[in-house]
A = this chain, B = another copy of it.
Amino acid sequence: MSKLRVSCFTVSLDGYGAGPSQDEQNPLGRGGIDLHRWLVSTRTFQRVHGRAGEGTTGVDDDFARRGDENVGAWILGRNMFGPVRGPWPDERWRGWWGENPPYHVPVFVLTHHARRPLEMEGGTMFHFVTGGIEEALRRAREAAGGADVRIGGGAATIRQYLRARLVDEMHIAISPVLLGAGESLLEGVDLRALGYVVTAHVPSAAAMHIVIGRAPGA
């Protein structure tokens, strides 16, 4: 069955999914890039970014690869799409990723400000959804045609879907870094009360991988 899932979302030891002070030079906020060391080193990440055959295999790569499998559509919060806030001043901002973003499927961007769909190279089409998380999910499921829908983040978007109990599976990686401040993934979200449990945990040298799913009967 088509799942709504979070994969490869990385948090710091102190629970932040991105550092403070996000801007065009620091899409992940100050210190945020350190979070993703485990992922960047993998063969899967290197392949997706045009360096086939490079990178490591093993636990980290297994999670990276599974994260990319069977994804029919993505959902992103607006800050994951870019640093622009408020109404779109124009259509010049086309995402952090250049003309060929690493999605290659429809991507639904949550925003309060309408914008025309944006077709990129390589099969990525950005749709801007102003109707909230359920509308985005409905449209993403439709676009995914039976494959999974993956939430890319950021933390606030994931929290909204968790609170609505709509997430079927969430893989997070805890990186051994301190960000000190930033956007907390789980602050104020009682996953246990929402019916979630840890279904797998696998350590690697670079991160602690955790899979969270619904408790039996939840």
Closest to A198 in B: B176
From B180, B187, B189, B208, give the contact of A193 (CB < 8 A): B180
A217 to B163, CA, bound (A): 42
A178 CB-CB contact with B under 8 Å: yes
The interface residues of chain A, by DSSP majority, are classed as loop
Copy number in the complex reads 2
Query: A195: shortest Cβ distance to chain B, in Å?
Result: 10
A174 CB-CB contact with B under 8 Å: yes
Q: Report yes or no: B205 in contact with A15, Cβ–Cβ below 8 A.
A: no
Q: Report yes or no: A192 in contact with B176, Cβ–Cβ below 8 A.
A: no
A210 contacts across to B, CB distance below 8 A: 13, 176
A203 contacts across to B, CB distance below 8 A: 203-205, 208
A15 to B68, CA, bound (A): 28
A31 to B215, CA, bound (A): 15
Q: Report yes or no: B15 in contact with A208, Cβ–Cβ below 8 A.
A: no
A178 contacts across to B, CB distance below 8 A: 191-192, 196-198, 212
A 196-216 contacts with B by CB, 8 A: 196-198, 201, 203-205, 208, 210, 212
- 12 intermolecular pairs with C-beta atoms under 8 Å apart: A13-B172, A15-B15, A31-B192, A174-B174, A177-B198, A178-B196, A180-B190, A180-B193, A180-B194, A203-B205, A203-B208, A208-B208
A178-B212, A180-B190, A181-B192 given; 19 more Cβ-contact pairs under 8 Å? A13-B172, A13-B174, A13-B198, A14-B186, A14-B191, A15-B15, A31-B192, A178-B197, A178-B198, A179-B192, A180-B191, A180-B192, A180-B194, A181-B190, A181-B193, A203-B203, A203-B205, A203-B208, A208-B208
